[in-house]
Structures are given as C-alpha cells and as structure tokens.
C-alpha cells in the first residue's frame, strides 16, 4: 500500500481510461494495450479523437471562467495523466495565487504528476478514489491545499462516465457538493450516447480497468442538483462559451459539459 492507502501497482495488462485518453490526445504516456484500445474506439466512434480534444478545450475555458469569477482554489478529481497546459498552468495564467489539489486513483498518474509538481507548494497530487468522496475531502493533503471555508471550483471532467449506476454517481457528487461552501463551482463533463448508438464504443472498455457508462442529457443535468447552471447551461462541450472557431465535427461530439454555481 502507498501512504495514501491505495495499492501502488501499475497494471499494464489491461487498457486504462486515462492512458487511452492520453493516446487519443497524442500523448506519450501509454502502453501498446492502450493504443490498441484507442484504435478500436476510433474505429467504432470516429469522433473520439476530436471529442477528447474538445473536452479538454472545454476544461480550459471553464477553468478560466471560474478563476475570472474570483475562485482561487481548484479541486480536480480524476485529473488523468498530465497534459500541458495543466489545470494549474491555465489557472495561473489568469491569477498566480490559485491553489490546485489534483486527485486520482491511478498510481501511474500520481508518479507522472509528482515529477511535475512540488508537494510543498500550492499545487499537489494525492491518491484517492472518487467513489469514496469523503476520503477525498478529508484527505490531509487536500486539506493542506484547499480551505473548505472559501469558494472552491470542483472539477469532475470526463470522469463520472467511468462510475457505474451501482456506484451512485449522483450521491458521490452530492457528498462533494455538501462539502463546498456557497459561491463554489462545479465544472463537469460527461460522455453521452444521445447522438449516436455507441454500445460498440462502450464495449472497448469492457476489458479496461473501468467501464464506460454513457448517460443522457437529463441524467447528466441531474448531477448538477444543488447548483445553478451558468449560461449556456449543459451543452455539447464545443458550444460552452466558445472562444474561437468551432471544429467542423462540433455537432457530432458526444460530450456534454457545464458549469454550476452553488
């Protein structure tokens, strides 16, 4: 066990969602098994590559928005493998005093992030599991970075579709929401099957370390219970406050994204 209480073994025998995501983004922190899964995904869901890029662009715009609204603390759960610019880099472009706590349950993510971050500074990474949200908000390293008496931006970007219905994603979000003070924000994106039938894409993750659980617009919107969605509400990610030309494939991108304020 690691000091964070999560087994530190890296499983390279099965594809991992974070490494598949890294492959689709054109990164280098993945294995052959992840490349193979990524190629299978693209073969059955041709929009996959542009979707993950559009999702990342949504995250950048949303981070700039919440920092512009005065938030100086970000809790990013399910951060995935470091891909520059990272959340703290985006935030620091707008305000140098933003503090960021990254959380992931994958040891390889933590190892890569530890190489980039100083655990003694205002940005840190911890091993914890979103499916146990109290362990996240009560983690001493999270508490070192995040003051839960002041507004926090909670990032759940492209992570909840790896949580099954049996694991009660709405209850997970509610537990995290209740730990946040008024004036906090939720930045959330989620894959959907509303646009196309994507059972073949879901099947790519059957042998991965986490399954893919597509949800409808209504189901994703319910995850914002207790938050007021800011304009333009829950949309496909390219249409959330675009700051440049939309990709040609914008209408086919199967990710919803939104920002809510508590």
Give yes or no for a contact between 109 and 80, defined as CB atoms under 8 angstroms apart: yes
Chain-centroid distance of CA 67 in Å reads 17
* More confident site: 225 or 80: 225
Percent pLDDT > 90 in the chain is 68
What confidence score (pLDDT) does residue 15 get?
A: 87
Q: What is the pLDDT of residues 120-165, one digit of tens each?
A: 468 888 989 999 999 999 999 999 999 999 999 999 999 999 999 9
Q: Taking 90 as the threshold, does the pLDDT of residue 108 lie above it? A: no
What confidence score (pLDDT) does residue 119 get?
A: 53
* More confident site: 142 or 82: 142
pTM of the shown model: 0.91
Q: How confident is the model over 216-223, as a mean pLDDT?
A: 98
Q: Taking 70 as the threshold, does the pLDDT of residue 175 lie above it? A: yes
Q: Taking 60 as the threshold, does the pLDDT of residue 8 lie above it? A: no
- By the 10 Å C-beta count (0-12 exposed, 13-18 middle, 19+ buried), 71 is classed as buried
Which domains, and CATH codes, for the chain?
A: 15-241+255-259 (3.40.50.150)
């Amino acid at each position: 066990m690691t000091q964070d209480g999560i087994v530190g073994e890296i499983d390279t025998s099965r594809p991992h969602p974070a490494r598949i995501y890294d492959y689709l983004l054109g990164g280098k922190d993945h294995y052959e098994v992840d490349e193979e899964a990524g190629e299978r995904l693209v073969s059955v869901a041709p929009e996959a590559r542009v979707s993950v890029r559009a999702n990342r662009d949504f995250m950048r715009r949303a981070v700039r928005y919440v920092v512009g609204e005065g938030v100086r603390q970000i809790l990013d759960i399910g951060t995935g493998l470091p891909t520059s610019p990272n959340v703290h880099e985006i935030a620091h472009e707008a305000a140098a005093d933003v503090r960021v706590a990254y959380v992931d349950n994958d040891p390889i993510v933590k190892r890569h992030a530890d190489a980039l971050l100083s655990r003694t500074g205002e940005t840190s990474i911890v091993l914890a599991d979103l499916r146990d949200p109290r362990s996240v908000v009560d983690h001493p390293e999270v508490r070192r970075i995040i003051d839960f008496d002041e507004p926090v931006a909670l990032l759940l970007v492209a992570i909840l579709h790896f949580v099954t219905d049996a694991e009660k994603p709405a209850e997970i979000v509610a537990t995290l929401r209740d730990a946040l003070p008024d004036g906090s924000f939720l930045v959330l994106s989620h894959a959907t099957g509303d646009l196309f039938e994507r059972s073949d894409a879901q099947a790519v993750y059957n042998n991965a370390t986490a399954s893919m659980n597509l949800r409808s617009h209504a189901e994703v919107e319910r995850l914002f219970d207790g938050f007021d969605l800011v304009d333009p509400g829950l949309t496909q990610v390219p249409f959330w406050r675009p700051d440049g030309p939309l990709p040609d494939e914008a209408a086919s991108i199967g990710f919803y994204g939104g920002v809510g304020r508590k």
